[in-house]
Amino acid sequence: AQSVTQLGSHVSVSEGALVLLRCNYSSSVPPYLFWYVQYPNQGLQLLLKYTTGATLVKGINGFEAEFKKSETSFHLTKPSAHMSDAAEYFCAVRVVPLFSGGYNKLIFGAGTRLAVHP
């Protein structure tokens, strides 16, 4: 079964420091991977996604992620953290359930809360 594991439920960095949020997936087929961000009391917003092609994906707000098939990883990075980056981050994989007629759904990781301190 396809699944997503996010290592570290809480990550704390200093403003200006590198942000690294880890995501590993399990999938028997080529995965479609997503990172979403949830700011306090708001809905989820897509940061970036990997479908096919280039393995380094650039998203909004200076974030990027690299798909590494050999490591089954899709870690999210940002070179320099900003106070406004404090939020919950979710990694997700798109799966096509058996007998669903091709319809698909997102499986989310448990989320990583990013705190940015001055």
Partner 1 sequence: DTAVSQTPKYLVTQMGNDKSIKCEQNLGHDTMYWYKQDSKKFLKIMFSYNNKELIINETVPNRFSPKSPDKAHLNLHINSLELGDSAVYFCASSQRTRMVSDTQYFGPGTRLTVL
Record the tokens describing residue 56, joined without a space: 């380094």
Q: What does the DSSP 8-state code read for residue 81? A: -
Q: Which CB, 15 or 113, lies closer to partner 1?
A: 113
Nearest distance in Å: CB 9, partner 1: 9
Interface residue list for partner 1 (CB under 8 A): 32, 34, 36, 38, 41-46, 49, 51-52, 88, 90, 94, 96-97, 100-106, 108, 110-111, 113
Provide the minimum distance between the beta carbon of 116 and partner 1 in the complex, in angstroms, as a whole number.
Answer: 18
Measure the CA–CA gap between 118 and 43, rounded to whole angstroms.
26
For residue 29, what are the contacts with CB-CB under 8 A and spacing of at least 6? Answer: 96
In the complex, minimum distance from the CB of residue 46 to partner 1, in angstroms, rounded to a whole number: 5
Q: What 3-state class would DSSP assign to 54? A: coil
